[in-house]
Chains A and B, each alone.
Chain A
Amino acid sequence: MMLIREFEVRCAQAYQQAKIGGFCHLYIGQEAAAVGTLNAVNPDDPVVLAYRDHGHALARGMDPGACMAEMYGKATGCAKGKGGSMHMFDRPHWLFGGHGIVGAQTPLGAGLAFAARYEWEVLGRSLENPGVPAGSPPRRKVCLCYLGDGALNQGALHEAMNLAGLYSLPVIYIVENNGYSMGTSIDRGTTMAHDLMAKANAYGIEGRAIDGFDILALYDEFKPLVDLCRQKQVPAFVDLKTYRYQGHSMSDPQKYRTKDEVEAWKAKDSIDRFAHHLMSERTGSDGRPVLSEQRFSEIQDDVRTRVRAAVEFAEASPVPDLSELYADVMVNPHPGMSPSGTYVTGAPNPLLR
């Protein structure tokens, strides 16, 4: 969580220095949501994200350097500087993006869950994937598909939930409910905002509402749900109540909420609460807190060092070669695509080397 926060703070700085272009949606405040849920699944469970995705990528194990370089649009980024902030992909970590269109990722989650179920129920073997040799025995998987509360109003989600309910697909739709779809509060944009579970129940999907600001309670409630979905191969829906401290993007005047409201959420910050818990409430066998002030300070230093290294890596990395502009559109050469008349296949993705 601390790594994500530090990473996001440095992203904001780099964005203000115009080193990061386009759009940048920060995850500050919501860290417990990604960390608490992603630690409840296996490394080979597929994961699909919406556009506020840097935090999940880091929580899933993506190298912070590759993540920051992608923000910078550099050739060493997870998508070789082609995707940017909203498109964090990490195939070896079973991270299938990073999607910029609100709600459009939700049927992809249904498809990944469908494939996972097909593997052990019909094929009887794993599909070939990075790190998975052909013919490996299949494992029961659960797909985590994240969305924001704004996506609740998109048709794609409802088609996806209908299919997931109909075919009993092992996908968990996790609504990171930070209360705002860009500048519109959930009460102004979504029916049944007080009981989102009713929407899932309409598709035969069970689930629960979980406090996304208390990492321990979140994990304790989420893990049994994951185990249930894996075991029974059924979908689920989670209303994960959380909050973002920053604006929707870097250019958000935030007229839709008060400073008091933001401060009230910051007062119960998930990192502060967890640190407080470890430093004063939870004691080890020796009767002392499990986390000392000194160790906490070391973790802070370590996180700063790692993110500084990621920034330095991104700064020092080369911009993509101009030929990359014409690469990786189709597998086969497509004459006439580039002004020079030649087609290039592009260098391999750094995360697949």
Chain B
Amino acid sequence: MPRTPQMIEKGLTLVDAINEALSQEMERDARVICLGEDVGLNGGVFRVTEGLQRRFGPDRCIDTPLSESGIMGTSIGLAMAGMRPIPEIQFEGFLGPAHDQLVNHAARFRNRTRGAITIPLTVRVPWGGGIHAPEFHSDSPEAIYTHSPGMKVVCPSTPSDAKGLLLAAIRDPDPVIFFEPKRVYRSFRERVPEEDYTIPIGKAKLLTEGTDLTVVTWGASVFQCLETLDSLPDDQSVELIDLRTINPFDADAVAASVEKTGRCVVVQEAPKTCSMASELSATIQERCFLHLLAPVQRVCGFDTIMPYAKLELEYLPDPKRIAEAIGHTLAY
């Protein structure tokens, strides 16, 4: 769809970028269809699929009933037959009913059939906190799916990364869960190339270079970390890595950075125990033990249930907690 004057002048939001990627890929490949609850007429709960049904018709942008297991199972069947379905699950917590289909079917068919059947499926899921909603409207379940071999997990933080990663996900022959940080959906605009491009799944992005400490994060926490870095004293030189892909994650990029800096803080929204931050910490000690000058710190949500609006900002990592962890690690 043509860009609006506002998009041309000020750039694209995360929502705009995802919508543009979907639209361009549906135009390019007739096997690509979007389906989900209210994705058609209403344009999706966050309006990410706005206009796609008008442009491509109800056969390619399909409103489904509230039926996550059915949506996911049907999408897997479509993918088995050679289609490129993109189901939307309205909130990450609603993956629950679809979990069986994702973990026991989508993630395993390549292995179970020894490569005879693959599942080119991209599951779009609004993810994470920051919209004042409790529990399963604000969770961060990336570790659950990373713990399911065969499933790729992507979580972009910026509009331009989102477009390139989404196009890569749709063209990937394996199932990809594409987590879209809700907090970033309309939080800022940036210049996004209008043409078709992909960003490889599994590659992290170095956002700022530094010499004393590495911060690893993804999703909306990237912006909490950038804000933290802006407020650090001049003598603290911190390197910031946006992981972008959670599974398979870019262990080489993380290890190379930590070998250089000797210190690491991992920042995530999810609860601490058994999380992606735990996995990163373990990987860093396995690969960089003799380079480490301090224990790896984790700044996370808490091992409790994501709270409702008034306590939300206490739960999510903020610049104060991130700066404290950086300070402790540097002073260790």
Residues of A whose CB lies within 8 Å of any CB of B are 46, 48, 79-80, 82-83, 87, 89, 91, 96-97, 99-101, 104, 106-116, 118, 121-123, 127-129, 155-156, 159-160, 162-163, 166-167, 327-332, 334-336, 345-346, 348-349, 351-352
Given B60, B65, B76, B173, which contacts A111 in the complex, CB threshold below 8 Å?
Answer: B76
| A312 to B329 alpha-carbon distance, docked (Å) | 64
Residue-wise, chain B 14-41 has the 8 Å CB interface mask toward A (1 for contact) of 0000000000000000110100000000
- Across the interface, A163 reaches (CB within 8 A) one of B31, B65, B110, namely B65
Hey, which chain B residues are within 8 Å of A167, CB to CB? 62
Checking A97, A113, A114, A122 against B30 with a beta-carbon cut-off of 8 angstroms, the contacting residue is: A122
* Residues in chain B near residue A107, CB distance under 8 A: 69-70, 72-74, 76-77, 101
Verify if B67 is at the interface (C-beta below 8 Å from A): yes
Contact check, B81 vs A111: say whether CB atoms are below 8 A apart.
yes
Which residues from chain B contact A331 at a C-beta distance below 8 Å?
110, 118, 172-174
20 contacts between A and B (CB under 8 A): A83-B112, A87-B113, A89-B117, A111-B80, A112-B80, A114-B83, A115-B78, A115-B80, A118-B33, A122-B60, A128-B82, A166-B65, A330-B110, A330-B150, A330-B174, A331-B110, A331-B172, A335-B252, A346-B114, A346-B115
Known: A115-B82, A166-B65. A79 touches B110 (CB 8 A): no
| B112 contacts A111, C-beta separation under 8 Å | no
Q: Known contacts A108-B105, A127-B81; can you find 6 more A-B pairs with CB under 8 A? A: A107-B70, A108-B80, A114-B74, A118-B83, A329-B110, A329-B111
Q: Are B69 and A156 in contact (CB under 8 A)?
A: yes
A352 to chain B, nearest CB (A): 6
In the bound complex, how far is the Cα of B106 from the Cα of A107, in angstroms?
A: 12
Q: Is the CB of A156 within 8 A of B117?
A: no
Residues from chain B with Cβ under 8 Å of A108 in the complex = 73-74, 76-77, 80, 105
Distance from A111 Cβ to chain B, minimum over Cβ atoms (Å): 2
Residues in chain B near residue A163, CB distance under 8 A: 64-65, 67, 70-71, 74
Write out, one digit per residue, whether chain B residues 111-146 have a CB within 8 A of any chain A CB (1) or not (0): 111111110000000000000000000000000000
* CB <8 Å contact, A329 and B251: no
- The chain B residue sitting closest to A112, CB to CB, is B77
Q: Is residue B304 contacting chain A, with contact meaning CB distance below 8 A?
A: no
Q: Which chain A residues border B76 with CB–CB below 8 Å?
A: 107-108, 111
Of B74, B83, B115, B202, chain A has the most CB atoms within 10 Å of the CB of B74
Q: Footprint of A on B, CB under 8 Å?
A: 30-31, 33, 59-60, 62, 64-65, 67, 69-83, 85, 97, 100-101, 104-105, 109-118, 149-150, 152, 172-174, 201-202, 248, 251-252
- Tell whether, in the assembled complex, residue A82 and residue B111 are in contact, meaning their CB atoms are under 8 Å apart: yes
Chain A's nearest CB lies how many Å from the CB of B117? 6
Q: Do the beta carbons of B117 and A91 come within 8 Å of each other?
A: yes
Chain A neighbourhood of B101, CB < 8 A: 104, 107, 156
Contacts of B115 in A (CB 8 A): 328, 345-346, 348-349, 352
Residue of B nearest to A171 (CB): B77
- Give the most central of B82, B110, B149, B174: most A CB within 10 Å: B82
Which of A100, A111, A159, A328 is B69 in contact with, Cβ under 8 Å? A159
Min Cβ gap A48→B in Å is 8
Shortest CB-to-CB span from B232 to chain A, Å, is 33
Q: Shortest Cβ distance from B73 into chain A, in angstroms?
A: 2
Task: Indicate if the CB atoms of A328 and B111 lie closer than 8 Å.
Answer: yes
A219 shortest CB reach to chain B, Å: 26
A114 to B73, CA, bound (A): 11
**Distance from A81 Cβ to chain B, minimum over Cβ atoms (Å):** 8
Please give me the residue from chain A that is nearest to B70 by CB atom.
A159
Q: Whole-angstrom distance between the alpha carbons of A129 and B74 in the complex?
A: 18
A111 touching B116 in the complex, CB below 8 Å, given contacts A104-B104, A159-B69, A162-B65: no
A110 contact set on B, CB distance < 8 A: 70, 73-74, 77
Docked CA distance A127–B82 (Å): 6
- Residues on A with C-beta less than 8 A from B118 are 331
